[in-house]
A and B are shown apart, each in its own frame.
Chain A
Amino acid sequence: MSDQDETNSGDVPMMQKLLDNPFLLLFLGVASPAVLYLAWGIMEIVTIPAR
């Protein structure tokens, strides 16, 4: 049974595995704006010269 499951899951394309994993999507959906928007933006603000 478990062999069959493994075989079946091995047939699933990588993209579908990604789309079927809500927690991986959650990670990507938080990481992408956290890096590209929050972290990048904050880095630019904190590196503004003090005068």
Chain B
Amino acid sequence: MSNNIFRTCPDTGLKFHGPAETLMKVNAVAAVVFLLVGGFYGLLVGLTRWQAVHLLEASDFYMVLTLHGINVLIFWMIFFEIAVLYFCSSVLLGCRLATPKWAWVGFALMVIGAVMNNVIVLQGSSSVMMTSYVPMEAHPLFYLSLILFAVGALIGCFVFFGTLVIAKAEKTYEGSVPLVTFGAITAAVIAVFTIVSGAIVLLPTFLWSVGLVGEIDVLAYRLIWWAFGHSSQQINVAAHVSVWYAIVAILFGAKPLSEKVSRTAFLMYILFLQLASVHHLLVDPGVSSNFKMFNTSYAMYLAVMASMVHGLTVPGSMEAAQRARGHTAGLFTWLRKAPWGNPTFSGMFISLVGFGFLGGITGVVMGAEQINILVHNTLYVPGHFHATVVLGSTMAFMALTYWLVPILFRREIVMKGLAKWQPYIFGLGMSGVALFLMGAGTLGVPRRHWDIGFAGTGGMTHEFPAAAYTMLALNGLSVILAVAGGAAFCVIIVGSLLFGKKLGDQPMAEPCIVAPVTDEEYNANGGSAYAIPGTIVLAMIFFASFALYYFINWKYLAETWGIG
């Protein structure tokens, strides 16, 4: 009976299916809990990498690094993404959620897996880091916990697909699904491939850890593990791009510059984004240059192009909407007049810029086989993925959460002054983390070593430039700033859920959604939905930065080995 309970949001007019709403809430809350846990471990990692502080002993460092990676890269992200999938299907399509009981089973498996993983790693016998490369062996429950979590997430994905079927069958929408839902479909498709790959690699590894399988091939493990490990981050990309589209529609009433172009870009993600996993194998023996170059160049560049399409159309649609609403002066009045004090907007825009300039450009550099050799397995890699996953995805998810708390939980955001500054604090800190880790990596600092002074290695030494130590210190300071911003987010959200003013069924004093811009508004004053000169200038700046940085890396490479 309760399966058909709906409520209509007084602020947005969106229909919330009761069981779906509860499932979104519990997934979102679980996500924030694991963000808090993983962020705390991140602080310990950053303070250990800072050579002058060097907080943890080696054994503790690898344990904490394992916990940090899995909690934030897997648990926080996927719990939040399951909430996003349910929102984009059940809420945006205005239909009931398919099989809520199965969705609860999936959630329970995810919670059991995540908690079990934390407990088993904290016991100290599974400090194998997130990659858990064989023949390094963790406790069998370590692999089992990840399998349980993955099965739970897979159930969540199929509940999402089932909900799409229900919406179509019950005709709760006309024509194609909304673009944001299409982005969520992209994320779910990538998630299915990711989780199946995880099962392919983790099941035999679990059997190996209990002695039922004699040996795991190291090369094959790495190949298949990265289909899981890297693709899991591509789920985030598809999800956070969907969040960008959602936020510009919510805050500006913007419609996409071109639905066809944006959907085609998502299709390119579906076809090619997961092939970027090969960039982890670019120095591996056993796989050919043909395999490496096809996947990381020809195929991956199509996915990169798709990201650049989104990077153009999201601010472009925002500019067109702002111009239609009267902010027509000059190149950047539309941007200056944006609601910079609203954390939903500022978080989204920091995510967009950080993901594009810091994460995107460096990802392409690392994806080129020749210049990858400069930074492979150095701290440059964590620098890159802190720009993509944290500055890009986490920041976007935080931004959406500020909007979702009043809509979904019907609670007012508390500490609004702090909430206004939180995206800037977190964004600045995380930009520093990304830049300084990449700086240290460019100077050759290895990504996985506890101590670049090589203490306790029996006389092994290497003289890193003094700048490398400075980079690690600056990284430590940036980590503190980022963790302060992350903690502020958790305090604000948990505080809002517990102590925020109850909104009930009455609309909020300030509208939280802007009416869609009409064709008449777009066409007024000689404008159109395609007049976006400011965004074009920003895109040109992006391309110039891209070309310059790409050239600099080839120049570095040319200086690595003298010719003649």
Contact = CB atoms under 8 A, between A and B. Distances in A.
Given A25-B270, A30-B193, A19 B231 contact: no
B295 A45 contact: no
Contacts, number: 88
Contact of A25 (B185, B264, B299): B185
A4 B208 CA distance: 58
Contacts of A16: 176
Interface in B183-222: 185-186, 188-190, 192-193, 196-197, 200, 217, 219-220
A33 B223 CA distance: 12
Given A23-B161, A34-B193, A41-B291, A28 B271 contact: yes
Contacts of A26: 161, 188-189, 192
B278 A29 contact: no
B197 A38 contact: yes
A42 interface: yes
Chain B interface helix/strand/loop/mixed: helix
B380 interface: no
B320 interface: no
B60 to A, nearest CB: 35
A44 interface: yes
B104 to A, nearest CB: 23
A28 B270 contact: yes
Given A36-B295, A38-B227, A22 B271 contact: no
B295 A37 contact: yes
A50 to B, nearest CB: 13
B255 to A, nearest CB: 17
Contacts of B58: none
Given A41-B291, A44-B288, A45-B287, A19 B263 contact: yes
Contacts of A18: 267
Contacts of A44: 286-288, 291
B110 interface: no
Nearest to B223: A41
A38 to B, nearest CB: 6
Interface string B252-296: 000000000001100100111011011001000011100100110
Contacts of B177: 20
Contacts of A15: 264
A29 B270 contact: yes
Nearest to B224: A38
B227 A37 contact: yes
Contacts of B278: 37, 41
B263 A29 contact: no
A39 to B, nearest CB: 11
A22 B294 contact: no
A45 B219 contact: yes
A44 to B, nearest CB: 5
Contact of A36 (B223, B286, B288, B294): B294
Contacts of B271: 28-29, 32
Contacts of A38: 197, 200, 223-224, 227
A32 B220 CA distance: 19
A25 B281 CA distance: 27
A14 to B, nearest CB: 13
A19 B267 contact: yes
A33 B275 contact: yes
A36 B276 CA distance: 11
A14 B526 CA distance: 34
A19 to B, nearest CB: 5
Interface in B145-190: 161, 164, 176-177, 182, 185-186, 188-190
Contacts of B224: 38, 42
B406 to A, nearest CB: 30
A20 to B, nearest CB: 5
Contact of B176 (A20, A33, A40): A20
B464 to A, nearest CB: 34
Given A20-B176, A26-B189, A37-B295, A45 B220 contact: yes
Nearest to A34: B193
A1 interface: no
B286 A45 contact: yes
A33 to B, nearest CB: 4
A15 B193 CA distance: 23
B232 to A, nearest CB: 13
A44 B189 CA distance: 26
Given A33-B227, A36-B299, A22 B176 contact: no
Given A29-B192, A45-B286, A45-B287, A36 B275 contact: yes
A37 B274 contact: yes
A28 to B, nearest CB: 6
A22 B161 CA distance: 8
A29 to B, nearest CB: 4
23 contacts: A18-B267, A19-B182, A19-B263, A19-B267, A20-B176, A22-B185, A25-B185, A25-B270, A26-B161, A26-B189, A28-B270, A28-B271, A30-B189, A30-B192, A30-B196, A32-B272, A32-B275, A33-B227, A33-B274, A34-B193, A41-B287, A45-B217, A46-B220
Given A28-B189, A40-B291, A45-B220, 4 more contacts: A16-B176, A25-B267, A37-B274, A41-B287
Interface of B: 161, 164, 176-177, 182, 185-186, 188-190, 192-193, 196-197, 200, 217, 219-220, 223-224, 227, 231, 263-264, 267, 270-272, 274-275, 277-278, 281, 286-288, 291, 294-295, 299
5 nearest A-B residue pairs (beta carbon): A29-B189, A33-B274, A29-B270, A41-B223, A32-B271
